[in-house]
Amino acid sequence: MRVHSLHKWDVSYAEARAVQEKLRGGVAAGPLPETLRYVAGSDVSYEMHGDLFFAGVIVWDVETGKVVEERGAVERVSFPYIPGLLSFREAPVLLKAFEKVESRVDAVLVDGQGIAHPRGFGLACHICMSLEKPGAGCAKSLLVGEYSEPAISKGSRADLIHDGKRIGSVLRTRDGVKPVFVSPGHMLGIDESADLVLSCAVKYKLPEPNRLAHNYVNGLRKRGGL
């Protein structure tokens, strides 16, 4: 996949926040692709108390439920953990994994936040905008916003609200399990982002491409590399 350079990654914390403030205006909404078959899921794992990061991308076929391609990257990361600036730790190594992908990708799912972010530009926005692909963030925990609990059945959703504005969906991907927090990354609307996640929710809490990517990167970490 082609990766478009949006900015340099070697930045200060203040510069990182300024990058997010600048780029958030470019996040676009849009419909799901007319043909939605190949979805790329991604995840990152890293050493406990270490600086070695392992990124993985799984291209998953929605129609057959099969893995089409898996790619990984390993890189040392110096940017520290700062809430709201996760992109500057994870995006560079993730984009290196995406750059290796040769298969067709119709949409992207990122383990992280999209516009449901303090500055409206989370990891999923960074990834999807760099790839110029429609996609969404699917996070396991809340970063910003308030919501009412959705119904317990799969497919139920509630609006995620921040500063009086709708920024995402709280989506139940399996009956009776805790919901996930879904928001647009780029080129998708809020409802379309939730629909994308739901189309990939087979029988687990996480959408299948991201669940498989999670397993893949944990394997990379245990092996110590590619």
Structure confidence by residue, pLDDT tens digits, 176-209: 999 999 999 999 999 999 999 999 999 999 999 9
Answering whether pTM is above 0.75, one says yes
| Residues contacting 56, CB < 8 A, separation 6+ | 42, 43, 44, 45, 70, 71, 72, 97, 213, 214, 216, 217, 220
- pLDDT band for 224, please (50, 70, 90 cuts): confident
Give per-residue pLDDT as tens, 100-132: 999 999 999 999 999 999 999 999 999 999 999
The b/e string for 153-181 (b: 16+ C-beta within 10 A; e otherwise) is: eeeebbbbebeeeebbbbbbbbeeeebbb
pLDDT of residue 60: 98
Tell me the average pLDDT across 60-87. Answer: 95
Tell me the average pLDDT across 206-224. Answer: 94
Give alpha helix (H) positions in 170-207: 190-199
Q: Please state, in angstroms and rounded to a whole number, the distance separating the CA atoms of residues 103 and 66.
A: 13
**Residue 95 above 80 pLDDT?**
yes
Closest CA to 131 of 182, 200, 75, 187: 187
pLDDT of residue 124: 98
pLDDT of residue 226: 76
- pLDDT band for 48, please (50, 70, 90 cuts): confident
Range in 47-56, 81-90, 154-163, 200-209 with the lowest mean pLDDT: 47-56
CATH superfamily, with its number, for domain 13-223 = archaeoglobus fulgidus dsm 4304 superfamily (3.30.2170.10)
